[in-house]
Amino acid sequence: MTHRARKRFGQNFLQDTSIIDSILIAATPECNEHWVEIGPGQGALTAPLLRTGVKLDLIELDRDLVAYLTRKFANHDQLAIHSQDALTFDFSQLATTETPLHIIGNLPYNISTPLLFHLMKYTDHIHSMYFMLQKEVVERICAAPGSKRYGRLSIMLQYYCHAEPLFDVPPESFSPQPKVMSAIFKLTPHNQAPVDIANLKHLNQVVTQAFSQRRKTLRNSLKKSFTEAEISALDINPELRAEAISLAEFARLSNQFTLKNP
């Protein structure tokens, strides 16, 4: 196919068959499962996914690629192609309680954060997710407290999912080549939220505030919302920086914020 990669759609097509094999080995699709691929492009992951016999839905924004995929995979009755924007796609329409979704994608890097937050609305319908993104973003998503990559993205996504980095993918594996190293990671939605949060908007607000000045202590960065004594009363040391604070501790701060701002 002669398709000119479109930068605005974040198009970097996977070429390396050993990487494609490794992704499929990590994801282990099984024939009774329902998979959704976001941004199938020219079908690098789609073809091996279909060979496993899974039910598969594709979501692709580029209409030229949708036309190409429709021709390429014309005879697959297990396949449905949605010519839509994944950012506004209603994933719940595909799921049933008996068959939760497995989602996969070499994601368009330019919309990675809003797309991941959109997917978090559907975690009740999702069994697992395998994605490729820039390595630096994958490190931020999977980071633990104490790491310099730990921040809002780690905390907000780890509230919904267990996040696990799997392996790196070098630029030479794509055409055109991206400027940065990529990585594959897995998100597994929690069966039960790891902490109780009274108001998720407040968690986001407190976390954003705490990390807005990473190098400052909580006493300073959260000054507008909490006194030093209030932070200590939650059994959190106000002299610590945000990067040392766990999800459980942010949950206490967030729930206290909700009590003060009902």
Report the residue number, 126 or 210, with the smaller CB distance to ligand SAM. Answer: 126
Distance, in Å, from the CA atom of 57 to the CA atom of 212, rounded to the nearest integer, reads 39
Residue 108 near ligand SAM by CB under 6 A: yes
Where helices occur in 106-170 by DSSP H, the ranges are 112-119, 135-142, 152-160
Identify which of 203, 208, 213 has the alpha carbon closest to the alpha carbon of residue 253.
203
Q: Does 65 bind ligand SAM (CB under 6 A)?
A: yes
Residue 11 within binding range of ligand SAM, rule CB under 6 A:
yes
Q: Is residue 86 involved in binding ligand SAM (CB under 6 A)? A: yes
- Identity of the residue, 1 or 259, whose beta carbon is nearer to ligand SAM in the bound complex: 1
Residue in 61, 101, 153, 218 binding ligand SAM, rule: CB under 6 A: 61
Residue 29 makes contact with ligand SAM by CB under 6 A:
no
CA 240 vs CA 28, 81, 216, 221, 257: distances in Å: 42, 49, 8, 10, 18
For 217, which DSSP code? B
Residue bearing tokens 């030093």: 228
Per residue, the 3-state secondary structure of 59-116, as one string, reads ECCCHHHHHHHHHHCCCCCCEEEECCCCCCCCHHHCCCCCCCEEEEEECCHHHHHHHH
Using the rule CB under 6 A, which residue among 59, 161, 166, 218 binds ligand SAM?
Answer: 59
Based on the shown chain and the rule CB under 6 A, indicate whether residue 139 belongs to the binding site for ligand SAM: no
Residue selected from 45, 126, 153, 210 as contacting ligand SAM according to rule CB under 6 A: 45
81 binds ligand SAM (CB under 6 A): no
Instruction: Count the neighbouring beta carbons within 10 Å of the beta carbon of residue 219.
Output: 16
197 binds ligand SAM (CB under 6 A): no
Stretch that binds ligand SAM, among 49-57, 71-79, 106-114, 162-170 (CB under 6 A): 106-114
Q: How many CB atoms lie under 10 A from the CB of residue 3?
A: 13
Select 100 or 108, whichever has its Cβ closest to ligand SAM: 108
In the set 87, 193, 200, 234, which binds ligand SAM (CB under 6 A)?
87
Closest CA to 23 of 167, 181, 182, 140: 167
Q: What does the binding site for ligand SAM look like in residue numbers (CB under 6 A)? A: 9-14, 38-42, 44-45, 59-62, 65, 85-87, 106, 108, 111
